[in-house]
């Protein structure tokens, strides 16, 4: 058993932000705080993004606290640039990150500490900051016949680039920004069909600060009520880059409503129309990776976790960052600062004893 005042779970944007503020608040590496990360290298979810996603293509990158993101090559794959940036950040601030450590469960104990059980041994912590994001929990909706499809099915999380689909017909499912981005580039080498549950909302004008505040406030209200947070991205609309505008002019972004079922060779709509397909690409989003918190029993009847800021109401030693209203890069930074401030107040008597 190892002991640390604060265990941070996850070393993406939210986890590194929390670690930075813990360091600045005077917590000692190791005994004061430690960061457990399941990946084999720096970069959070960014390191797994498709190679054709460049820095110039990414909306809303926000630098980590205390160190600017400096680059002179916007054509560089975001996966490489941000993995390098995260690695440099970890080195600069000498953050105590332990990698390829899978957190299996967080449990109550008979002491004042929470038990963080991992595949590399257990930790006892006075407080836990959970920053596990969503990338490890891709959402696959079920439609009748999905298991019969003889072609290939993959999720956004599996996508590596358009070249492998050359000459095929790809059905892209999903109404978010990722679906539109992948659809545009796949359509350069393959024929496509775009399917969404609701008509997409394209945003022509700028997404203002007031727009952002309204979206975050709505999600904050949901998590305070114990409801699942929903997606920030789905509430902001889809901003089309030049390549998606070009695809729109080519007719690629003419969406179809959701099909009724899947057949061995394609998809079928309720009116009997059929579309042959070689590939179904599910751009259907992600869910928060929180299964390891189940032993704490913090979910409520609404299906979510009732929050007060970053603090879980049912377990004040547990903070969620990069969740709900802080599930954006700038929100993650602010959440890291807020979580550390509250944890510092919570632990002050124990730390001074």
Mean pLDDT for the stretch of residues 175-195: 95
> In the predicted model, what is the mean pLDDT of the chain?
90
**Sequence-distant (≥ 6) Cβ neighbours of residue 117 within 8 angstroms:** 103, 104, 105, 106, 107
Pairing between β-strand 114-118 and β-strand 103-108 as defined by DSSP bridges: antiparallel
Q: What is the dihedral of CA 43, 49, 54, 55, to 10 degrees?
A: -30
Under 8 Å between Cβ of 351 and 26: no
Q: How is residue 195 written in tokens?
A: 């399917």
Residue whose entry in the numeric block shows the structure tokens 């944890």: 343
Q: pLDDT by residue (tens digit) across 200-248?
A: 888 765 555 565 566 667 677 777 777 777 665 566 668 788 889 999 9
Under 8 Å between Cβ of 202 and 237: yes
Mean pLDDT for the stretch of residues 190-205: 88
Q: pLDDT by residue (tens digit) across 316-340?
A: 999 999 887 666 777 788 899 999 9
Buried b (16+ CB within 10 A) or exposed e, 200-239: beeeeeeeeeeebeebbeebbebbbebbbbbbbbeebbbb
Q: 252: pLDDT confidence band, cut at 50, 70 and 90?
A: very high
More confident residue, 101 or 58: 101
Percent of the chain with pLDDT over 90: 73
Q: pLDDT by residue (tens digit) across 257-300?
A: 999 999 999 999 999 999 999 999 999 999 999 999 999 999 98
Q: Is the pLDDT of residue 150 over 90?
A: yes
Nearest partner of 107 among 122, 86, 91, judged by Cα: 122
Q: How is residue 171 written in tokens?
A: 């059905």
Question: Residue 5 burial (CB < 10 Å; 0-12/13-18/19+)?
Answer: buried
| pLDDT at position 19 | 98
Give the integer Cα–Cα distance in Å for 294 and 287: 15
């Amino acid at each position: 058993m190892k002991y640390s005042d604060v265990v941070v779970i996850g070393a993406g944007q939210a986890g590194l932000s929390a670690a930075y503020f813990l360091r600045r608040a005077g917590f000692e590496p190791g005994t004061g705080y430690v960061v457990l990360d399941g990946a084999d290298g720096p970069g959070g979810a960014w390191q797994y993004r498709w190679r054709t996603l460049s820095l110039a293509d990414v909306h809303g990158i926000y630098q980590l606290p205390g160190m600017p993101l400096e680059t002179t090559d916007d054509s560089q794959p975001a996966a490489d640039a941000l993995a390098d940036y995260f690695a440099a950040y970890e080195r600069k601030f000498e953050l105590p990150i332990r990698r390829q450590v899978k957190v299996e469960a967080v449990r109550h104990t008979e002491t004042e500490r929470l038990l963080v059980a991992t595949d590399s041994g257990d930790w006892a912590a006075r407080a836990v900051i959970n920053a596990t994001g969503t990338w490890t929990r891709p959402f696959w909706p079920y439609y009748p016949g999905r298991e019969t499809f003889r072609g290939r099915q993959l999720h956004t999380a599996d996508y590596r680039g358009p070249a492998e689909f050359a000459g095929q017909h790809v059905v892209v499912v999903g109404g978010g920004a990722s679906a539109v981005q992948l659809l545009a580039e796949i359509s350069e080498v393959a024929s496509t069909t775009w399917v969404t549950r609701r008509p997409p909302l394209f945003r022509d004008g700028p997404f203002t600060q007031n727009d952002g505040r309204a979206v975050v406030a709505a999600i904050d209200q949901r998590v305070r009520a114990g409801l699942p947070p929903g997606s920030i991205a789905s509430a902001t609309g889809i901003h089309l880059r030049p390549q998606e505008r070009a695809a729109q002019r080519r007719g690629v972004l003419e969406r179809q409503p959701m099909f009724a079922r899947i057949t061995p060779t394609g998809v079928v709509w309720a009116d009997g129309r059929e579309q042959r397909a070689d590939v179904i690409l599910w751009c259907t989003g992600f869910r928060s990776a929180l299964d390891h918190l189940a032993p704490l029993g913090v979910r409520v009847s609404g299906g979510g976790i009732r929050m007060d800021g970053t603090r879980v109401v049912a377990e004040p030693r547990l903070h969620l960052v990069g969740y709900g209203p802080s599930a954006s890069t700038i929100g993650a930074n602010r959440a890291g600062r807020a979580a550390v401030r509250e944890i510092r107040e919570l632990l002050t008597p124990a730390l001074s004893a």
